[in-house]
Structure 1
């Protein structure tokens, strides 16, 4: 054994810094039952999500153990939410954001759960039917995305009303129901994390070891990469989404 540090190759080809996910969103301008225009409330089970506002105005409404909040969004502002935080993007006028998502690939692999009413969450097949969309970006997909949004808002308003009244029971039960829905997906998520975010962090450790040993030969692999959105105007949870067909960036491994 030479004792030289062994560099860990990234499991993903050319991941973005930190193996983050990336997409661009224009918030929906569809009016919901409460008169508010915006996206589908949901939470993530293991991913922190960040909004970087690039244009327009709006807000993000959140439900968490510290209660209900409405965070203003304007160009240059950033908001982010830890796993378990219910969030709803609200349109205030031409709101556009760049989304940075922890744990490359996991949100598209089912890490996000909509705030559908309890009876939908209790039935995995019914949940899957309500959450799914037809392929493409045409009128049929738009109508399905709006129905999905309206159903998520229906459940969300009940959670918010209870939380504002000081009752966090429905919110906690929603978190538990979301966890039950995704439990069978954990082995797949673990592999995505292992070959994405974890592999990237381990590679940094190996690079530090190499530098400490005075053997920076890995720098000989230096290069640059570029990409542009390859699908424009897709229907995301919060709005129309521009996506990158790069593993771990927006689409699931293997694409769609």
Structure 2
């Protein structure tokens, strides 16, 4: 029985079925805490615990999903190429917004965490909260953070930004498609970009660009700000 449960076919089918089921549930209830990513993680973690299947084996069996994620990045590049005209006249504004957003994001979370008495390792873990997981984990490790904590925070920030971002932008009167895309990608990385693509092609393309630029800016600014603080 355990051989069947740990087979590639079963684990791939289970993973996709859990995610599709989570999507269906979220569309029905529209409750933020039942976001597909949260529900999927919870169900799969519970399954691995009960079945005794090692996480490393699970990841090996579903590695094709990782491969497909790589293709999705290429798709974002194509979308960005289609919207290149939207970028050409706004390069300075985009770069300024990303650098400012990165600095404010790092400083705010560091100062708040320090004021609440958090240890330096926790602060270092929180600083790269707004960039995609691969970059955030590396930045966290290099600055003395706890990568596992960083991964959880990045996921939660992405979910919150993806769910609440459009509502907040609407409430504060942001109408520019470029501004919306930058805000979603810079604050909520991949989850924000997925939501931005639902808003429109321009928003999705700019949000995809913001993920990369935000990663670069954060990797550069975290050690600099850490020294200053």
Q: Same fold (TM over 0.5)?
A: no
Structure with greater strand share of residues:
1
Q: Which has the higher contact order (CA 8 A, sep 6+)?
A: 1
Q: TM-score, normalised by structure 2?
A: 0.29
Higher helix share: 2
TM-score by length of 1: 0.27
